[in-house]
Amino acid sequence: MKLGRLNHIGVVTPSIVESVAHYRETMGATATTEPFDLPAQGVKVCFVDTPDAHGEVGKGTQIELIEPLGEDSPIHKFLEKNPLGGQHHVCFEVEDIAEARSWFEGQGKRILGPTRTGAHGTPIFFLHPKDMMGQLTEIMETPRGDGH
């Protein structure tokens, strides 16, 4: 399997509104999406763009702010343990999600649930942190076209 780019770092927050203000006012971020709900994934999401190696905003790794949505959100327990929120997962891109899934299954890594559509509208799956050196890891198929 070939490792693709680091698409985003997932950051849990009790308040996307407060986190957006933090990234804008304290961190000088210039571009964010509007928050949007992903009920199927139990989260409210907002992306903060960071500049790429050439200082260009829009192609760099994003901060994915996620707030629990609904009673059985998968991040409820994380927020109980970490009331201020914090780094939750990393997301790497791959060319072919099915091939990547077979690779990790062959490596004996636990895959958390089915391959499903993620916040960028492309297929994703998660790998259990206990099998990934303690890091909850999301794998997503590289968006086609100019999406990122």
Ligand X SMILES: CC[C@H](C(=O)O)C(=O)SCCNC(=O)CCNC(=O)[C@H](O)C(C)(C)COP(=O)(O)OP(=O)(O)OC[C@H]1O[C@@H](n2cnc3c(N)ncnc32)[C@H](O)[C@@H]1OP(=O)(O)O
Residue nearest to ligand X (CB): 118
Residue 85 in tokens: 């929120």
By the rule CB under 6 A, 148 interacts with ligand X: no
Q: Under 8 Å CB-to-CB from 27, ≥6 apart: which residues?
A: none
State the minimum distance, in angstroms, from the CB of residue 41 to Co ion: 9
43-51 and 57-68 as β-strands: parallel, antiparallel, unpaired? antiparallel
By the rule CB under 5 A, 93 interacts with Co ion: no
x/- mask, ligand X, residues 12-51, rule CB under 6 A, reads --------------------------x--x-x--------
Q: Which one among 138, 139, 141, 148 touches Co ion, defined by CB under 5 A?
A: 138
In one letter, which amino acid is 122? T
By the rule CB under 6 A, 75 interacts with ligand X: yes
90: closest CA among 4, 28, 29? Answer: 4
- Residues known to be catalytic: 138
User: CA 108 → CA 115, 128, 144, distances in Å?
Assistant: 17, 11, 29
By the rule CB under 6 A, 88 interacts with ligand X: yes
State the minimum distance, in angstroms, from the CB of residue 56 to Co ion: 22
What strands, in cross-sheet order, belong to the sheet with 6-12? 36-38, 43-51, 57-68, 6-12, 86-94, 137-141, 123-127, 111-117
Q: Which one among 69, 79, 91, 139 touches Co ion, defined by CB under 5 A?
A: 91
- Between 89 and 148, CB nearer to ligand X: 89
Q: Which one among 16, 118, 141, 148 touches ligand X, defined by CB under 6 A?
A: 118
